[in-house]
Amino acid sequence: MALLAEGKMPERYQRNFGTVGIAGQIRLLKSKVAVVGAGGLGGTVIELLARLGVGQLRIIDGDTFAVHNLNRQLMSTEHNIGVNKAYAAASRVEVINCDVQAEAIPCMLDEGNAEKLLKGVDVVVDALDNVSTRLLVNRVTKQYGIPLIYAAIAGFTGQVMTIMPGDNGLERIYRQTNAPNQGVETMLGNPAGTPALAASLQVQEVVKVITGIGEPLRNKLLYFDTEMNVFEILTVT
């Protein structure tokens, strides 16, 4: 941070210079991001945010790694099966970037803890795997005016959107879901590239929201289906 204050980019962030820049890097390092879920989406989001130099990461996940996670979840290894995902992710952050403080919250986000865990962070990343908790996160981030970076995946498809305070949010995306708490991912599963792609797009959104660079996917749902080479921006207001 001392070098940045002098207008110099530390070596480890040199390759951020042409995009994030000095001012953006300072903002990233001063930011606190909550990542809800440390599985397929969350694992890649956490890895990339740590490398970017987001100063504080709150990692929320009560689940433990299972063998069937190994095909896609970046934080899972053959050595940490049975280990809590939030703890494993925080350990990974420690060895990537000592500028980043990672706080592991080894429990599921729910009605009872959501406000406490999300209040006060600068950005929330939705890396969940079910609709009901997504809608809970959407409600709490709206209540506290926190930007929410949403993504969901199934098979070769995924969708990403940024919900800023005051925007219509996930109620526009999930309004027609009645009972099911999950989508067609229960049928299609998730191959390795899909969560990595959606998570990378989420990370770009985090950077844009924190640094003010570019144009976030606000009221726009980026939908991709790599099986058929479809990338579409859909208007969701």
Partner 1 sequence: MVIEVRLYATLRRYRPSIPNGVFTADIPDGISVAELVEKLEIDPAEIHMIMVNGIGREMDGILADGDRIGLFPAVGGG
Q: Which parts of 85-149 fold into alpha helices (H)?
A: 85-96, 114-118, 131-144
Q: Which two tokens stand for residue 213?
A: 């660079």
| 163/177 Cα distance (integer angstroms) | 19
Q: How many CA atoms lie within 13 A of 54 on its CB side?
A: 31
User: 144 or 223: whose CB is closer to partner 1?
Assistant: 223
Binding of residue 41 to partner 1 (CB under 8 A): yes
Amino acid at 221: L
Q: Which two tokens stand for residue 145?
A: 């005016």
Asked if 100 contacts 92 with a C-beta cutoff of 8 angstroms, the reply is no
In whole angstroms, the minimum distance from the beta carbon of 153 to partner 1 comes to: 5
Per-residue string for binding with partner 1, 200-219, x by CB under 8 A? --------------------
Instruction: Identify which range of 2-10, 74-82, 112-120, 125-133 contacts partner 1 by CB under 8 A.
Output: 125-133
| Other residues' Cβ atoms within 10 Å of the Cβ of residue 14 | 9
Binding of residue 91 to partner 1 (CB under 8 A): no
Binding of residue 69 to partner 1 (CB under 8 A): no
In whole angstroms, the minimum distance from the beta carbon of 227 to partner 1 comes to: 8
Considering only residues 161, 206, 210, 236, which one is a binding residue for partner 1 as defined by CB under 8 A?
236
Helix (H) or strand (E) holding 32: strand 32-36
Considering only residues 47, 122, 129, 205, which one is a binding residue for partner 1 as defined by CB under 8 A?
129
| 237/225 Cα distance (integer angstroms) | 22
Binding of residue 66 to partner 1 (CB under 8 A): no
List of residues contacting partner 1 (CB under 8 A): 37, 39-42, 126-131, 134, 151-159, 172-174, 176-178, 180-185, 187-188, 190, 195, 223, 225, 228, 230, 232-237
